[in-house]
Amino acid sequence: MDENKQQSEEMNQTEDQQEEVVENPEVEILEEEQENQDNQEDAEKAQLQQEKDEYQQRLLRLQADYDNFRRRTQKERENDKKYRSQDLINELLPVLDNFERALQVEVKEDSAQNFVEGMNMVYRQLKDALTKEGVEEIPAQGEPFDPHMHQAVMQVEDENYDSNVVVEELQKGYKLKDRVIRPAMVKVNQ
């Protein structure tokens, strides 16, 4: 009987093991599915994090571009305001040159002298108005040659001047605030 009992217990154990073996594939499949699902979720999280980072970088670049655009347009507006009269001044410079040429003529008659004095007053008013707008003459004669301020049209050899010094001013040059609107035409010593 003990033998029967032992055989019966062994059969029961064998059946339990078979049941366990049968149950284990299902559990393994479920575990694999859970692991695959976790891996997919991790991959999705990583992809979403990467997209978030890309959008954040894009946002930062757009903000920087906008700030640069705003600063650039503000600077352009300031320059427009600062140099708004440049076109008018460019038109008036030849008039100023003609006034200077006209005033260099010597007049001996009294009636013409009064006319010259009137022209001189108008010339001074025009120069004062231009000065109020920020126009100033560029110093030339006796100054070292500066290609940003002077336009050399002739070179001469003069022992009275150092090398690369302006000997004579042929036409006055003008600046509007810090911008050269017409360089001075000059003769330069070699």
Number of domains in the chain: 2
Quote the pLDDT of residue 24: 60
**Using the 8-state DSSP alphabet, how is residue 109 labeled?**
S
Q: What is the CA radius of gyration of the chain?
A: 47
CB atoms within 10 A of CB 162: 10
Quote the pTM value: 0.59
Task: Please indicate, yes or no, whether residues 40 and 117 belong to a single structural domain of this protein.
Answer: no
- Kind and range of the H or E element at 185? strand 184-189
Q: Which of 82, 112, 129 is the last residue of a domain?
A: 82
Quote the pLDDT of residue 21: 45
Task: Please indicate, yes or no, whether residues 131 and 72 belong to a single structural domain of this protein.
Answer: no
Quote the pLDDT of residue 7: 59
CA distances from 4 to 8, 9, 12 (A): 6, 8, 12
Task: Please indicate, yes or no, whether residues 20 and 70 belong to a single structural domain of this protein.
Answer: yes
Find the DSSP H helices in 83-170: 86-103, 110-132
Instruction: Say if CB 155 and CB 164 are below 8 A apart.
Output: no
Task: Please indicate, yes or no, whether residues 54 and 147 belong to a single structural domain of this protein.
Answer: no
Q: Is 135 exposed, middle or buried (0-12, 13-18, 19+ CB in 10 A)?
A: buried
Q: CATH number, domain at 150?
A: 2.30.22.10
Place of tokens 């154990």: 13
pLDDT in tens, the chain (190 residues): 555 566 566 655 555 554 444 456 666 777 777 777 888 888 899 999 999 999 999 999 999 999 999 999 999 998 888 778 888 888 999 999 998 988 888 888 888 888 888 889 999 999 999 999 889 999 998 899 999 999 999 998 888 888 889 999 999 999 998 889 999 999 998 8
Quote the pLDDT of residue 25: 63
Structural domain boundaries, residue 122: 83-189
Task: Please indicate, yes or no, whether residues 65 and 102 belong to a single structural domain of this protein.
Answer: no
Task: Please indicate, yes or no, whether residues 76 and 91 belong to a single structural domain of this protein.
Answer: no
Task: Please indicate, yes or no, whether residues 78 and 137 belong to a single structural domain of this protein.
Answer: no
Q: Which of 37, 61, 82 is the last residue of a domain?
A: 82
